[in-house]
């Protein structure tokens, strides 16, 4: 295994810095002179570059970037089908992971770990409850999303078990790919003063500004991890600036849940995994919180107004509170098995059903209402199992420093997803399953495995 010195996880820092600069210049140029339709070339460009360089990790990196990339693409193309970005993301996952397995080989894990067991239990719970549907469209969309961009990538990650270097490079490429939508959004906001182009698609708003904000926060945490991994000044400056830009964009979107999740994730990583002294940690956390508060006080994106407005005047808060109260009224109706996959709308008032609300914006309520106490048991297992796997990686001498470093990142991203799920994300959350999928695959990344991979690469 190559030990990190002046490179971040195998990619030279100068290459990373130059890629960030080039991607930034291209994106700004596209935003000012080509309009948003230029983004439609991104999936094709990612596939062509990955094939030419035989670097499928580039395509895998686009999966980590998430729906902020693919959602912008279909918005630019004027497509009004909310399932479309999930389709693009699923194609990218299948293409990238298939190419990885073809080039590097794959192996089925010889033994299960708690994350795999919990994910498969949830998948089975989903499928068993599909026939009990009242809202066929809701159930179908939810199940398709779960299979396409949650379970399929999750299972394929396990076939790449032990290949830590691949995940390390993929995360790095994710930062490069994420420059495109991030700087495009920044340029669009500078030109228009709004995020109007990120309109909600239809009543079944599967892609909206909250999803975009959540993806931006996810990338910000990855950029923070890369910042602490960097050794040279130029990449550190570029990466820290990128963290600031992404956090700023989260504020601009006005998504409160995404902002809380992002700040939580950043503080979580600094506090537990940055390797800094306690005084330096405290100073950096205070500095970050103070800077975010300053952004809020400046009234950017009207976030401060939304944060201070927790009454029914605010429709997003009112809708959540109304759904939670309605769910509480039906807490004893279907205790054991719940209402079935996608059937949360059965307990909602007419206005909510008419608005196409499909989940309660709280994963605890969602699991209980749709799958009963059995669902809560599966959810508890799903949320606790990453902790056991991460602790195994962290405490065992069988894992390399690189594997432990990546496990810290993905455990932080898991915490980010869990916090976000309390007030926004649905149970079919691509970020959650991508995150725990990689964390699960890292479980098999033992030193002996990595040693054999290194020897094979030297022989080739």
Mean pLDDT computed over 147-172: 83
Cβ-count burial of 356 within 10 angstroms (0-12 exposed, 13-18 middle, 19+ buried)?
middle
Tokens of 71: 């959602």
Q: Which residue has the tokens 């398709």?
A: 144
Q: Which residue has the tokens 């939304």?
A: 306
Q: Is residue 15 over pLDDT 90? A: no
- 140 pLDDT band (50/70/90 cuts)? confident
This prediction has a pTM of 0.84
**Which of 256, 259, 286, 258 is closest to 270 using CA atoms?**
286
- 43 pLDDT band (50/70/90 cuts)? low
CA distance 447 to 238: 32
Least confident of 123-127, 354-358, 404-408, 409-413: 354-358
- 414 pLDDT band (50/70/90 cuts)? very high
pLDDT at res. 79: 66
Phi-psi sector, 372: left (phi>0), alpha (psi -120 to 50), beta: left
**Which of 209, 206, 213 is closest to 81 using CA atoms?**
206
Least confident of 57-66, 382-391, 440-449: 440-449
pLDDT in tens, 258-277: 899 999 999 999 999 998 99
DSSP assignment of 322-385: HHHHHHHHTTTTSTTT-S-TT-GGGGS-HHHHHTT--S-S-HHHHHHHHHHHHHHHHHHHHHHH
- 423 pLDDT band (50/70/90 cuts)? confident
Residue 44 to residues 29, 34, 88, 356, 366, Cα–Cα distance (Å): 19, 17, 11, 33, 37
Backbone phi, psi, residue 204, to 5°: -95, 70
pLDDT in tens, 370-401: 898 999 999 999 999 999 999 999 999 899 99
Higher pLDDT, residue 263 or 361: 263
Cβ-count burial of 53 within 10 angstroms (0-12 exposed, 13-18 middle, 19+ buried)?
exposed
Cβ-count burial of 128 within 10 angstroms (0-12 exposed, 13-18 middle, 19+ buried)?
middle
Q: Is residue 413 over pLDDT 80? A: yes
Identify whether the C-beta of residue 182 lies closer than 8 Å to the C-beta of residue 66. Answer: no
Q: Which residue has the tokens 């950043």?
A: 266
Pairing mode, strands 7-8 and 11-12 = antiparallel
pLDDT at res. 82: 62
CA distance 260 to 337: 32
């Amino acid at each position: 295994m190559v030990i990190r010195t002046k490179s971040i996880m195998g990619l030279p820092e100068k290459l990373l810095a130059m890629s960030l600069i080039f991607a930034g210049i291209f994106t700004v140029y596209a935003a000012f002179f080509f309009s948003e339709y230029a983004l439609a070339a991104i999936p094709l460009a990612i596939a062509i570059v990955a094939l030419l360089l035989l670097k499928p990790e580039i395509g895998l990196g686009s999966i980590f970037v998430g729906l902020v990339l693919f959602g912008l693409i279909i918005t630019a193309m004027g497509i009004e089908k909310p399932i479309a970005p999930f389709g693009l993301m699923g194609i990218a996952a299948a293409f990238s992971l298939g190419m990885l397995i073809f080039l590097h080989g794959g192996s089925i894990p010889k033994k299960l770990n708690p994350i795999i067991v919990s994910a498969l239990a949830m998948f089975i719970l989903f499928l068993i409850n599909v026939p009990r549907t009242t809202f066929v469209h809701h159930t179908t969309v939810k199940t398709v999303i779960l299979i396409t961009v949650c379970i399929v990538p999750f299972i394929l990650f396990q076939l790449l078990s032990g290949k830590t270097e691949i995940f390390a490079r993929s995360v790095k490429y994710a930062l490069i790919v994420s420059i495109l939508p991030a700087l495009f959004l920044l340029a669009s906001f500078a030109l228009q003063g709004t995020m109007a182009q990120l309109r909600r698609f239809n009543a079944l708003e599967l892609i909206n500004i909250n999803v975009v904000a959540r993806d931006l926060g996810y990338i910000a945490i990855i950029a923070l991890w890369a910042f602490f991994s960097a050794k040279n000044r130029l990449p550190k400056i570029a990466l820290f600036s990128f963290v600031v830009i992404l956090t700023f964009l989260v504020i601009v979107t006005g998504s409160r849940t995404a902002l809380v999740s992002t700040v939580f994730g950043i503080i979580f990583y600094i506090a537990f995994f940055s390797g800094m002294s306690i005084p330096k940690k405290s100073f950096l956390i205070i500095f970050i919180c103070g800077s975010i508060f300053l952004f809020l006080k400046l009234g950017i994106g009207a976030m401060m107004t939304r944060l201070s407005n927790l009454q029914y005047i605010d429709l997003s808060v009112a809708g959540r509170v109304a759904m939670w109260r309605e769910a509480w009224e039906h807490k004893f109706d279907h205790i054991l098995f719940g209402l079935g996959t996608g059937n949360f709308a059965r307990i909602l008032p007419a206005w909510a059903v008419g608005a196409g609300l499909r989940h309660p914006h709280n994963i605890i309520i969602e699991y209980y209402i749709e799958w009963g106490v059995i669902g809560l048991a599966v959810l508890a297992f799903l949320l606790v199992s990453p902790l056991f796997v991460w602790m195994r990686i962290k405490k065992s001498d069988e894992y390399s420093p690189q594997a432990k470093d990546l496990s810290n990142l993905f455990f932080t991203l898991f915490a980010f997803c869990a916090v976000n799920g309390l007030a926004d994300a649905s149970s079919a959350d691509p970020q959650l399953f991508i995150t725990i999928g990689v964390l699960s695959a890292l479980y098999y990344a033992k030193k002996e495995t990595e040693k054999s991979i290194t020897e094979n690469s030297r022989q080739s």
